[in-house]
Structure 1
Amino acid sequence: MALLFGLGAAQPVLLTGNPVPSAFVEQALRRALGWSGLEAPSLPAQPPLDYGQQRVLNLGSAQVALEHAPYPPHRTTQLLLSNDPEAVTASRGLFHYRFAAGEGVRLVYHHKNGSAGPLDFELRLSNPTPERVQVWVSDAAGGPVADEVYAGHVATKRWLELYWNQVGQLIELPPYSTRLLLKLPSRGQQVVSGLLEAVVTQGPAATLNLIARIPGEGDPPLETYAQGPVYRFASLEKHVSQTHVAGKSTLMSLGEGAFQNGAGKAIKGSWGVLYTYELRLQNPSDTPRTVGLRLSAAGGIARGVVWLEGQGYELPLLRPGQPYELTRVMLNARSERHIRLSTLPAAGSNYPLRLLLYDPLATTDPGPTGQTR
């Protein structure tokens, strides 16, 4: 437990990240109280938790200890996709997966409450073994909202902000125990979306369960669970190098994939895979040149988040035929610049996107303008 009663000390809430943002601190506090069977009081606003910091909070009749912990380095190699059924109309299991120590997994879920009434989506972490288990978890959600593109966009944006700062929670699981990580109550026709990365840091294995449940009903039996796909890679971080000569045009595809949901339906984009593009921009001429970076939707309506040189850009709603200029890069005469661009296709959006490197001074109507660098 993460609570301190009287003079008896318990395991503190262990968080990683530099810093741990306020919203994630508050989420961890609510989890600790809920796992101890206590109602979460109205939490005071929490400042970020900095590297090496410890904090003890009085919350009603309980004390909660927060402690900054080292980030567990790992490689994420398994991608879990929960999108079958897309529209859920009754209580049922949506995803069930057991993973062993050292195996980094990333779950992307995207579902709609297809009923006319309320439906709770619950994400749980279990220890199926007789030994104590510790799991590092980093997760974020979007929704419930009516707009499926917006739900996936918000979840992706929130999760990437955690990813870049190595934010997560180390969760202790006694033998044969279960922890509720997240509960998303939804109304009819609302969409929930989320991402979770997890790795077992101590002990043999853990299990992830995602369920949909009508309030008041019991847990759905295991045989109701959908058979969601599991994709295995050497890494879920893909790196692409591209050279571009100023004055010419280079067209690249971002986030194109061939994934399917459990029903065999194609997913528009490689959800959950982080792409990093190393762009080598060259100007062999004797005069300064400008390189424009322009994004356009190639698979349908889409949103996204792009990290360019460590700075996040939240994209507007992109529609086919309506390009968006992300930024412009200035190149001195006979010079070269290297820039890094990263993105992760958002669930609910229609990927791929196209990235055009071009000369904006020789092209008319580049679309809405971003920034000049």
Structure 2
Amino acid sequence: MRTLVATLLCVCMLALSGHAQLLPRVEVKGGTLIVNRAPAVHIRVANGNLVPERRAQIAAERLQSAVARGLGARHVGVKAERRRATVTIGGGVLLYATRADARAAGTTPLRLAQAWASSLRHCLSIPPLSLSTSELLVPLGESRTVRVNGWLEGTAVVAPTGAPDDGVTDPAVIGDGRTVRITGRAVGRERVLVSVGELSVPLMVTVRKYAGEVKAFEPVVVTGIDLPVSFVRQAVEAAIVRSTQLEPGAQVQIASPVRLSSVPDVGQSATASVLVRASGSGYIAREQEVKLTVVNRPIAAANEPVLLMVSNDPERVQKAQTLFASEISESQSARLLYHHMNGMVQDGLLLIELLNPTDATRTVHITGAASTPMRDTVRVGYVAGELFLRALMNNMGHTITIPAQSKVVLLAQRMRPLETASGVLQVRLLPTEGAQPPAPCVLKVAMQVYQNQPLPLMGTTMAWGFLPPRPLTTEERRQIAGNDHIYPTSYKVLTATYVVGQRWQFIRIGEQAVRNHNQQRKLDGNYGVIYEVRVEMVNPTDKVRDVELAFEPSGGEAGGVFAIGGEVLGIQRALPPGEFSITRIRLQPNQKRTITIRTMPLAGSNYPATLMVRS
């Protein structure tokens, strides 16, 4: 290796000395002085009895004599005289710029001399041999070209040096003999010598892999009515990220806003396009313009009840650990409510993962929302619950495909100390066509120490899966999926009747705690349970009357969300003993009307709470 490096240094020194031995090439064509094959000075008029051609020849002879003495571009100057200006080299006269020359050029003698001097400096600085670049970055398996420049004539010859890495490049001369093609054979760096005659210049070539590439362009499947454009864009971004094949340590970014032709209604489709960038240390960044189809597929909403899964134990997480893991199957959908505070002294990383340990590709439909982590434990639960209820009412969701023996990270959120992450998502494994239901998948919640991982960390979102699928590790294949916080009752129906002018109705939300699958644990507050409250309102009077729905935080500080008549209404924060108006319902004389209210006890709030009906 030392011998090879010494040889390379010797070759480079010879190349440099070769440059010094080659004198600039000086020629004359008509009245034009040509230096290093580039026109330097064009003389248009005679000076006395010296015609332009002779003046150019004299200048060439003087220049050849000067460069033979070692003078060069830095020795070229201009001297102003009374009736003319002189271009000098090393203090000696090279040629004169006369008044006649200046008139022919439309300028003054001094300015013309300065222009000639500048052109001469440029031409004298042209090297006999150079490359269009001295450093070349080549993707592995691809080729790039370099142009051989300089005034030295002849066909180029290339030779890899094998240093500092051997076998990295495959160089070749193509075309007119002055173009070098470099093909990347292996990751590394290698110096290639490019020669014309006895003169050589080095080209340093670096060969790297691309950081990643979007390989698949499957349609993005969304569901629901009245979809917000922000949700469709998030679903497109997540689908593209999952379709990106990344090298280890690389990351993918959405480099432009998602452009949508429209927001598709149920049964319709639209087109989307976006710029995607994959990058990473030691890789070549790649940008791709991705175009795909967005389909709003008519997938029926999950039937209640679903399995209610609650990840809240411990609520204050003080070390990296698995917080929740449970199997989900095609036979029953699952609703996961999670609510955790980062009790560590360093930043945490909350991960929600869906593991597919089967040998079949699985497709899952997800409806839900996650709030960006924050220190306000009531507000973070309200944001997640309000968005989830909106999504649930409109069956708003999207599908994710998980390859066999792989996992998808549904959510990755950085949490600073004392911040709380909260969210609700409903997961439904779709049937596998033409096959018996495979084994269950595993839904997992975990806390890690945040270590600046190259992850697309997410804030508030209603779309999931912003990371490409990854093969399961041996440990993940053995993931034990068992948890006491799984509750078969996820849905309750309450009824009440209110007659105008009679006693108010008080409807308790979050009472009669549901029990887990083995009846050993109860869920105080019924967090995550959907309540459908049917209130029959009767106005027996002969006047128009307004009936008020109000919220009372009976158990302490709380927020509440309520879906009424296609509209989602919210109380972000309520403190006892206050009573907070939700809405008013107008009843005509002698009218009887049934109002359906859907609500859910919110994580971070204090339930039971009370829904009041009064006038």
TM-score of the two chains, using structure 2 as the length reference: 0.53
The CA deviation at 1:225 is 8.5
**Equivalent in 231, 235, 238 of residue 24 of structure 1:** 231
The answer to whether the 8 A contact 2:342-2:420 is kept is: yes
The one-letter code sitting in structure 2 at the alignment partner of 1:311 is E
- Of structures 1 and 2, the one scoring higher in RCO (CA 8 A, sep 6+) is 1
After the TM superposition, which residues 109-148 of structure 1 pair with which residues of structure 2 at under 5 Å, given as runs? 109-148=338-377
Could you tell me whether the CA contact under 8 Å between 2:552 and 2:578 is conserved in 1? yes
Partner of 2:63 in structure 1?
Answer: none
Residue 234 of structure 2 aligns to a residue whose secondary structure is helix
Q: Deviations over 1:209-247 (max 9, x none)?
A: 1110002499998789983510113xx332222111110
Task: Give CA-to-partner distance per residue, 1:158-202, whole Å, 9 cap, x none.
Answer: 111111111111111111111111111010000000111011113
Aligned residue in 2 for 1:99: 328
**1:202 to 1:266, Cα distance in 2 relative to 1, 3 A:** closer
Contact 1:79-1:106 within 8 A present in 2 as well? yes
Opposite residue 327 of structure 1, the aligned amino acid is T
C-alpha separation between the residues in 1 aligned to 2:588 and 2:220?
A: 51
Question: Of 46, 54, 59, which aligns to 2:270?
Answer: 54
Pair 1:260–1:103, CA change in 2 (3 A): closer
Q: Which residue of structure 2 aligns with residue 338 of structure 1? A: 594
Q: Given that residues 93 and 224 in structure 1 are in contact (C-alpha distance below 8 angstroms), is that contact kept between their aligned partners in structure 2?
A: no
* Matches of 1:29 and 1:332, distance apart in 2: 47
2:551 and 2:611 in contact (8 A); partners too: yes
Task: Trace 1:257-268 onto structure 2 (pairs within 5 A).
Answer: 257-258=512-513, 268=524
Conserved in 2, the CA contact under 8 Å of 1:83 and 1:228? no
For 1:155, the equivalent position in structure 2 comes to: 384
* Structure 1 residue 34 corresponds to structure 2 residue 241: yes
- The answer as to whether partners of 1:102 and 1:201 remain within 8 angstroms in 2 is no
**Aligned-partner Cα distance in 1 for 2:601–2:307:** 16
2:494 aligned residue: 240
Give the whole-Å Cα distance in 2 for the aligned partners of 1:333 and 1:143: 47
RMSD over aligned Cα atoms: 2.8
1:323 matched to 2:574: no
- Shift of the alpha carbon at 1:290? 3.3
In structure 2, stretches of 5+ residues that fail to align are: 1-212, 277-287, 433-437, 454-472
Quote the residue 1:83 is aligned against. 312
Larger radius of gyration: 2
Match of 1:370 in 2: none
Q: What is aligned with 1:167?
A: 396
1:70 to 274, 298, 303: 298
Which piece of structure 1 moves more, 286-295 or 246-255?
Answer: 286-295
Secondary structure of the residue aligned to 1:144 is: coil
Partners of 2:588 and 2:253 in 1: CA distance: 57
Q: Deviations for 1:321-345, whole angstroms, at most 9, x for unmatched residues?
A: 1111223333333221222211111
Supply the AA of the counterpart residue of 1:53: S
Change (3 A) 1:335 1:102: same
CA 1:316–1:216 in structure 2 vs 1: closer, same or farther (change >3 Å)? closer
Contact 2:366 2:398 in 1 (8 A): yes
Alignment partner of 1:256 is 2:256: no
Partners of 1:334 and 1:79 in 2: how far apart?
41
Matched-pair contact (CA < 8 Å) for 2:356–2:403: yes
Change (3 A) 1:87 1:41: same
Question: Are 2:469 and 1:213 equivalent residues in the alignment?
Answer: no
Q: 1:92 to 1:259 in 2, by over 3 A?
A: farther
2:445 counterpart SS class = strand
CA distance in 2, matches of 1:84, 1:225: 15
- Alpha-carbon separation, structure 1, partners of 2:350 and 2:298: 31
Kept after mapping to 1: 8 A contact 2:217/2:291: no
CA drift of 1:260 comes to: 7.9
C-alpha contact 2:389 2:563 (8 A) present in aligned 1? no
5+ residue gaps, structure 1: 360-373
- Residues 245 and 140 of structure 1: CA distance in aligned 2, closer, same or farther (over 3 Å): same
Hey, what does 1:186 align to over in structure 2?
Answer: 415
* Inter-partner Cα distance in structure 2 for 1:259 and 1:40: 43
Letter in 2 for 1:160: L
The CA deviation at 1:15 is 1.2
- The aligned amino acid for 1:70 is P
Name the SS of the counterpart of 1:295 in structure 2: strand
Q: Aligned partners of 2:564 and 2:446: how far apart in 1? A: 36
Q: How many residues are paired up?
A: 351
